[in-house]
Structure 1
Amino acid sequence: MISIRKSGSIGVNRAAPEEFFGDNEGAVLYFDEDANRIGIEPVADADADDAAYTVSVTDSGGTIAPKAFLETYDLVRTSRRSTTPRGPTTTSSR
């Protein structure tokens, strides 16, 4: 399973790094606007390709942090909603 997080990262479940990435340390991402799909291509060395992102692997799975990529295609919300109260505000004096 793969998920896009609000933080601007992509999370992959425990089995995915071993099954799909093997010894590859990077990933190049693609976006198909017509199909609304992200493609992830594992690459051996994230530093060797300017378009590659590092794949960080832990015991619980993996993470790719392509925030700029996700923002470019408007796949993650970059601003927070305003918390300004609506309606009149009152103050009391004693």
Structure 2
Amino acid sequence: MACRVLTIGFALFYAAALFLFIVGTYGLFGQEKDPLSGVFLLPIGLPWIYLGHLMPDAVRPVLGAAAPAVNLALLMLICRARRNRR
């Protein structure tokens, strides 16, 4: 149960951070464009964010937005493996 709650909580944080990134990047809903709108994606995307230094500049925003998805997938795999072990 705790693993499921943790996974859902992480997914909600990721969805909120991704929403703020999109709104700030494209200036949706009358917001000004903000270059720091992706700052909430950084901590939940660690350690995969560090791969951004190896990529070209055009790919970095996409990698920054997708890095937390890797952590979410790993968290789901760990929870599934733990559930199957029981």
More helix by share: 2
- Please say whether Structure 1 and Structure 2 have the same fold, judged by a TM-score greater than 0.5: no
TM-score (norm 1): 0.27
TM-score (norm 2): 0.29
Higher gyration radius (CA): 1
More strand by share: 1
